[in-house]
Every structure is written in structure tokens, then in C-alpha cells.
Amino acid sequence: MFEGLFQPMHLLVIVALALLIFGPKKLPELGKGLGEGIRGFKSAIKLDPEPASDAKHDTHHIPAQRH
């Protein structure tokens, strides 16, 4: 389905259309925003999730009081 999508002529047409739609002034800003978004996504994936706390180490647990 996407075999011929990234041929040089297709890429030139895509770049030309983007240039016509957004203009030469807006394209660097769009590229910068896209790059920052990808970097942020990668760094969020690399972060380890916080380990789950055990009940014996939970400081918010209040034991039931007997009357």
C-alpha cells in the first residue's frame, strides 16, 4: 500500500505543498515544535514508573481503633 510513498518525486511534491500551505516563515516553527514533541514523548517513555508502595510502608494508612 505504501511501497512508493517515499520516492524522491513524491517527497518533493509533499514539501512543495507544505511550503504553499504554511509558507516559508511558518515551516521552521512547525519543524521545531514537532521535534520538541517527539523528544518529550521519548523522554516520557524512558522514565521508569514509580514503584507501588507496600501497605507496611504506606504512611497514609490509619489503623482501625478499637473502643
How far is it, in rounded angstroms, from Cα 20 to Cα 12? 12
> What is the per-residue pLDDT for 36?
95
Name all domains of the chain by residue range, CATH numbers in brackets.
1-45 (1.20.5)
How far is it, in rounded angstroms, from Cα 13 to Cα 26? 18
Q: What is the pLDDT of residues 40-49, one digit of tens each?
A: 999 988 876 6
The pLDDT of residue 59 is above 90: no
How far is it, in rounded angstroms, from Cα 5 to Cα 56? 57
Which residue type sits at 67?
H
- Once rounded to an integer, what is the mean pLDDT over residues 20-24? 88
In this structure, what are the phi and psi dihedrals at residue 52, rounded to the nearest 5 degrees?
-70, 140
Give the angle subtended at the CA of 23 by the CAs of 5 and 12, to the nearest 5°: 25
The pLDDT of residue 60 is above 60: no
pLDDT band for position 1 (cuts 50, 70, 90): low
This prediction has a pTM of 0.46
- Once rounded to an integer, what is the mean pLDDT over residues 2-13? 80
How far is it, in rounded angstroms, from Cα 26 to Cα 2? 28
